């Protein structure tokens, strides 16, 4: 036994002080290994669509409805199944309707409680009693455990369970108990949640989504470029702040910043009214949804233009600071010919759609005016002092990263930058070149330093990398040659607006390409999958999210309403349980209110991507490998007790 093993056993002996205690734990752990693996749920590119996100989270991408079908079969009607599903998803709202409309509410309580208890038994069957016990709500833990545990010693079991439910109703605790059971079913139906990037931007509720994730029982996040720009903004990086505010203005979501995060935009609004009050802002239209308050349209348009100009200036400064980013072609304010009204982009001249720039000095186009500088300092302080935003970003750092290897699958947002021949593209980061996994690792290192470093120079270097991760052509989570924001506003020629994707996207069907990526990250090419999002799959044009015979799954299908005309659906999600992988394509979600009133779920088309040759057990998972290591050391501890190397207490 080496010194490391000896230290491990001494530590273990403090927790398991006798042969009996160590033996009991070995038996417990060995039994866990033979349980079916928990269900994993994958979502990506949520883009602030909080209502659809919450609904998909509540229904487990159809997992709960499938469990209802399995449990009740043809013993209850389709209408009753829909009603039960809606109750599980939205118990508080459904109770309110039932208490108002049901003629005999006690009977409704009784039927609902019995069905919910049956569902609890089914969804908890793959877990140990200990794990279920830990998930039980404290107020009802004892009663729920009584209801879902078979009592072999009781002769009239039905009378026993009926009396428990009758008492719950009689003492007026049925509504609270129904709510607790419904949330428990949601909790047990999904064991672990993966968010494969882009929680933020476009939709109105990223802050609501983040609150939900912070309270979720088991979750990881792979950073998307839209998440990264918010993380950069929270760190105080001016170019990231400018991007975040400009996008919020563009999609009519400034309320996310002002109301959701309590960040004061009055300095920007005042500046925009004073400087852009009589300025042409026609190309800075607001892409708003039905819930947008159009009385703010005029001011939001001015704020939109004001922040876009500030963004282009700040990004120009940043690119000049970092020639190693090789992004000089994105410096366009100095390429404008004010006499001809044109701009030179990559050697070609284009007519400008807007030439009204009161704050741009053609001789020093990237220099902020004094007023612009003051506005950005105020916004920087507001972002850095926003307690809620800082809490959310710290959660992203704690639970997230540039990629994740989980249960033999590789999860990342975007792409692995590649050359046309399928080799990994080299990207220069501060004087050194990186590719493949090493590129992900160095970018994550700098992203963490950009938020947490105490040294100002180190922190600034990290923050600039956070901006690069958001929009740089070598960024894995961006994965394009350029972000054509400037062209989108000022150039009518659609060819100039094209954002050329990395070669990765042309190589997705080549097995040698996918295998080389899996090998780069240390995965078995026979069983592993790549799961990623970022570029919407255009199902409307016949594109499939299943690439390379199922080795690669691109699960961005337009969760964001802004993409749904392009994709033809409202997003893909992925479910991986003990039996296989299932891809779910969702139809557009009307609203939570409609789902409750009409008892309508999102219509989802389910595709079996892969059925495992044998049912996967906990032993086949990452957690299983940890358990097996624990068993190994516990068995070593037993031997140490038995041969006298360690003494029992």
Which of 6-15, 87-96, 225-234, 549-558 comes out lowest in average pLDDT?
Answer: 549-558
User: Strands 192-195 and 40-43, how do they pair?
Assistant: parallel
The helix-helix angle for 456-471 and 238-250 (nearest 10°) equals 30
Residue 407 lies in a domain: yes
Is 485 among the domain residues? no
Q: Which tens digit of pLDDT belongs to each residue from 509-526?
A: 999 999 999 999 999 999
Which pLDDT does position 302 carry in this prediction? 97
Count the domains in the chain: 2
Is 585 inside any structural domain?
Answer: no
Residue that is last in its domain, among 447, 471, 495 = 471
In a domain, 548, yes or no: no
Q: What are 196-246's pLDDT values in tens digits? A: 999 999 889 999 999 999 999 999 999 999 999 999 999 999 999 999 999
- The CA-atom distances, in angstroms, between 45 and each of 169, 237, 465, 491, 558 are 43, 23, 22, 28, 8
Q: What is the mean pLDDT of residues 386-402?
A: 98
Instruction: Tell me, yes or no, whether 181 lies in a domain.
Output: no
Residue of 183, 212, 217, 186 whose CA lies nearest to 64: 186
Determine how β-strand 342-345 pairs with β-strand 409-412: unpaired
Share of the chain above pLDDT 70, in %: 94
Average pLDDT, stretch 287-297? 79
Confidence of residue 175 (pLDDT cuts 50, 70, 90): very high
Inside any domain, residue 466: yes
pLDDT digits (tens, 9 = 90+) for 126-161: 888 888 888 888 888 888 888 888 665 666 767 888
Q: What is the residue range of 626's domain?
A: 3-35+621-642
471, 501, 533: which is the final residue of a domain?
Answer: 471
Q: Can you give 513-560 as a three-state secondary structure string?
A: HHHHHHHHCCCCCCCCCEEECCCCCCHHHCCCCEEHHHCEEECCCCCC
Q: How big is the chain by its Cα radius of gyration, in Å? A: 28
Lowest mean pLDDT among 135-139, 397-401, 476-480: 135-139
> Does any domain span residue 70?
no
- DSSP summary character for residue 588: P
pLDDT more than 90, % of the chain: 76
Q: Would you state the pLDDT for residue 127?
A: 87
Most confident of 18-22, 70-74, 91-95, 395-399: 395-399
Calpha distance 335→343 (Å, rounded): 5
Please name which of 461, 481, 459 lies closest in space to residue 471, comparing C-alpha atoms. Answer: 481
pLDDT on residue 630: 94
Contacts by 8-11 with C-beta closer than 8 Å and gap 24+? 8/633, 9/633, 9/636, 9/637, 9/640, 9/646, 10/646
The rounded mean pLDDT for the chain is 91
Within-domain flag for 376: yes
Burial of residue 46, with CB atoms counted within 10 A of its CB: 0-12 exposed, 13-18 middle, 19 or more buried: buried
Last-in-domain residue among 450, 471, 492 = 471
């Amino acid at each position: 036994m080496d010194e490391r093993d000896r230290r491990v056993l001494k530590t273990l002996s403090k927790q398991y002080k006798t042969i009996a205690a160590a033996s009991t734990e070995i038996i417990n752990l060995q039994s866990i290994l033979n349980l079916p693996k928990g269900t994993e749920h994958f979502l990506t590119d949520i883009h602030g669509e909080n209502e659809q996100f919450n609904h998909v989270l509540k229904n487990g991408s159809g997992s709960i409805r499938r469990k209802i079908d399995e449990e009740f079969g043809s013993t209850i009607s389709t209408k009753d199944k829909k009603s039960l599903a809606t109750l599980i998803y939205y118990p508080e709202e459904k109770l309110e309707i039932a208490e108002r409309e049901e003629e005999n509410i006690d009977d409704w309580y009784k039927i609902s409680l019995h069905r919910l208890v049956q569902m609890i038994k089914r969804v908890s069957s793959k877990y140990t009693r200990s794990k279920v016990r830990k998930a039980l709500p404290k107020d009802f833990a004892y009663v729920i455990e009584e209801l879902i545990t078979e009592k072999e010693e009781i002769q009239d079991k039905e009378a026993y369970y009926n009396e428990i439910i009758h008492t719950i109703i009689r003492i007026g605790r049925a509504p609270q108990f129904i709510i607790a059971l419904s949330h428990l079913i949601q909790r047990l139906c999904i064991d672990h949640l993966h968010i494969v990037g882009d929680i933020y931007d476009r939709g109105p509720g990223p802050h609501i989504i983040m609150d939900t994730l912070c309270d979720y029982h088991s979750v990881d996040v792979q950073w998307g470029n839209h998440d990264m720009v918010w993380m950069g903004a929270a760190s105080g990086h001016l170019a990231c702040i400018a991007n975040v505010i400009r996008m919020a203005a563009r999609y009519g979501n400034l309320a996310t910043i002002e109301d959701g995060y309590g960040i004061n935009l009055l300095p920007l609004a005042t500046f925009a009214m004073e400087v852009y009050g009589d300025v042409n802002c026609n190309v800075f239209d607001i892409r708003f949804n039905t819930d947008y308050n159009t009385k703010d349209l005029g001011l939001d348009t001015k704020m939109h233009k004001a922040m876009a100009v500030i963004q282009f200036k700040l990004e120009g400064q940043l690119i000049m600071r970092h020639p190693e980013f090789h992004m000089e072609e994105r410096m366009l304010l100095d390429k404008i010919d004010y006499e001809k009204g044109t701009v030179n982009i990559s050697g070609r001249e284009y007519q400008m759609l807007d030439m009204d720039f009161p704050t741009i000095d053609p001789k020093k186009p990237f220099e902020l005016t004094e007023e612009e500088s003051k506005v950005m300092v105020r916004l920087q302080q507001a972002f850095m002092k926003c307690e809620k935003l800082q809490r959310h970003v710290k959660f992203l750092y704690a639970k997230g990263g540039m990629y994740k290897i989980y249960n033999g699958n590789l999860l990342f947002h975007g792409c692995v930058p590649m050359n046309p021949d399928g080799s990994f593209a080299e990207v220069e980061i501060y004087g050194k070149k990186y590719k493949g996994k090493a590129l992900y690792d160095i970018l994550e290192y700098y992203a963490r330093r950009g938020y947490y470093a105490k040294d100002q120079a180190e922190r600034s270097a990290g923050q600039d990398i956070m901006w690069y991760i958001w929009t740089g052509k070598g960024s894995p989570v961006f994965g394009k040659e350029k972000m054509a924001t400037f062209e989108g506003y000022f150039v009518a020629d659609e060819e100039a607006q094209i954002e050329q994707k990395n070669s990765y996207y042309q190589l997705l069907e080549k097995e040698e390409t996918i295998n080389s990526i899996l090998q780069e990250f240390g995965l078995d090419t026979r069983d592993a999958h790549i799961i990623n999002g970022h570029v919407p799959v255009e199902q409307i044009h016949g594109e499939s999210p299943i690439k390379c015979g199922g080795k690669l799954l691109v699960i961005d299908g337009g969760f964001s309403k802004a993409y749904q005309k392009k994709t033809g659906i409202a997003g893909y999600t992925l479910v991986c349980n003990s039996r296989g992988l299932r891809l779910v394509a969702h139809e557009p979600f009307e609203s939570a209110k409609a789902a409750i009133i009409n008892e309508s779920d999102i219509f989802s088309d389910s595709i079996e991507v892969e059925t495992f040759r044998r049912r996967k057990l906990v032993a086949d998972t990452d957690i299983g490998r940890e358990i097996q290591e624990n068993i190994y050391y516990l068995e070593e501890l037993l031997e140490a007790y038995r041969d006298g190397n360690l003494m029992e207490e």
